[in-house]
Amino acid sequence: MARKKIIAGNWKMNMTPSQAVALVNTLKPLVVNEDVDVVFCVPAIDIIPAMEAAKGTNIQIGAENMYFEEKGAYTGEISPAMLTDVGVKYVIIGHSERREYFAETDATVNKKVLKAFEHGITPIICCGETLTQREQGITIDFVRQQIKIAFLGVTAQQAATAVIAYEPIWAIGTGKVATTEQAEEVCKAIRDCICEIYDEATAETIRIQYGGSVSVSSAPELFAQPDIDGGLVGGASLKPDFGAIVNYNK
Ligand code: PGA
């Protein structure tokens, strides 16, 4: 069975709640494509107003982060139950910016992934190498390690529902998109890794996105690759461009 594409916007630290409502209203007529699951991952404070604005559309609102404890003395954090209480079904876990600026590690990513599954939230699990690692020729080894740790203790049944976002760090926000061959090579290696950890069926079901300077012009070729099931889109998700990216196949 063909995997349904999933194209997610990652708004990062952009858009106040009122701007979020305006952006959802602008984008909602543009992101209609029944071949694609469309997710807007937005800042926590924007989740509720964005959901209100997206009511009755095909847009699902996701979160950009979540903590791995249930509740308690963790000032500033958002719990899984806070997300599910308002109907959030997707959460980005382990984005490279969280790893770089907020000290997230493969181990904390794993804890968050397990917690998301426990609460029925689909994690969009990010991985990807630095430019130095690519130049050293260790991209695939490095990404395989990130994936193996992220999925420790995750069952095959859970893993099949996960989303992985392969985002080479050197391509994020730089306008320097990976070539189609580079993106497909790593996404295929990730699928092979999932097959090794679990089995063929899980590997064939899990969805793997490419992220890093996805644009209207690069999306069609990237998303046509056999192992690329959509994208995680930063900058271009804040613009009407996102409508054309979601409709890459039209
Ligand atoms: P970008 O961001 O599309 O702006 O490169 C992608 C991401 O960080 O998810």
Take residue 125 and report the two structure tokens written for it: 């699990």
pLDDT at position 1? 62
Please report, as a single letter, which amino acid is at residue 139: T
User: What is the rounded distance in angstroms from the CA atom of residue 160 to the CA atom of residue 154?
Assistant: 10
62 lines ligand 1 (CB under 6 A): no
Average pLDDT of the segment spanning 192-202: 98
User: What is the rounded distance in angstroms from the CA atom of residue 29 to the CA atom of residue 142?
Assistant: 40
Confidence at 2, pLDDT banded by 50, 70, 90: confident
Nearest to 21 by CA among 53, 48, 58: 53
235 lines ligand 1 (CB under 6 A): yes
pLDDT at position 176? 86
Average pLDDT, the chain: 97
Share of the chain above pLDDT 70, in %: 100
Name the active-site residue from 64, 97, 104, 167: 167
Confidence at 198, pLDDT banded by 50, 70, 90: very high
User: What is the rounded distance in angstroms from the CA atom of residue 95 to the CA atom of residue 99?
Assistant: 6
Please report, as a single letter, which amino acid is at residue 95: H
Does position 134 have pLDDT exceeding 90, yes or no?
Answer: yes
pLDDT at position 35? 97
**How many distinct structural domains can be found in the chain?**
1
153 lines ligand 1 (CB under 6 A): no
Q: Is 196 a catalytic residue?
A: no
Average pLDDT of the segment spanning 211-236: 97
43 lines ligand 1 (CB under 6 A): no
Spacing, Cα 47 to ligand 1 middle (Å): 19
Does position 42 have pLDDT exceeding 80, yes or no?
Answer: yes
241 lines ligand 1 (CB under 6 A): no
Average pLDDT of the segment spanning 197-210: 98
Please report, as a single letter, which amino acid is at residue 207: R
Share of the chain above pLDDT 90, in %: 98
Does position 131 have pLDDT exceeding 80, yes or no?
Answer: yes
Q: Judge whether 45 and 61 are in contact, CB under 8 Å.
A: no
List pLDDT tens digits, range 137-183: 999 999 999 999 999 999 999 999 999 999 999 999 998 889 999 99
Alpha helices in 41-175 (DSSP H): 47-54, 80-85, 96-101, 106-118, 131-136, 139-150, 156-161
Q: Is 167 a catalytic residue?
A: yes
Give the residue numbers spanning the domain of 101. Answer: 5-246
Take residue 242 and report the two structure tokens written for it: 């996102």
Give the position, in ligand 1's atom list, of the atom nearest the Cα of 126.
9
218 lines ligand 1 (CB under 6 A): no
Spacing, Cα 176 to ligand 1 middle (Å): 11
Q: Whose CA is nearest to atom 2 of ligand 1?
A: 234
pLDDT at position 177? 87
Name the active-site residue from 64, 95, 104, 129: 95
Q: Over the Cα atoms of the chain, what is R_g?
A: 17
Give the position, in ligand 1's atom list, of the atom nearest the Cα of 165.
9
Whichever domain contains 42, its CATH number is: 3.20.20.70
List pLDDT tens digits, range 58-95: 999 999 999 999 999 999 999 999 999 999 999 999 99
64 lines ligand 1 (CB under 6 A): no
User: What is the rounded distance in angstroms from the CA atom of residue 206 to the CA atom of residue 1?
Assistant: 12
User: What is the rounded distance in angstroms from the CA atom of residue 77 to the CA atom of residue 62?
Assistant: 16
Spacing, Cα 72 to ligand 1 middle (Å): 32
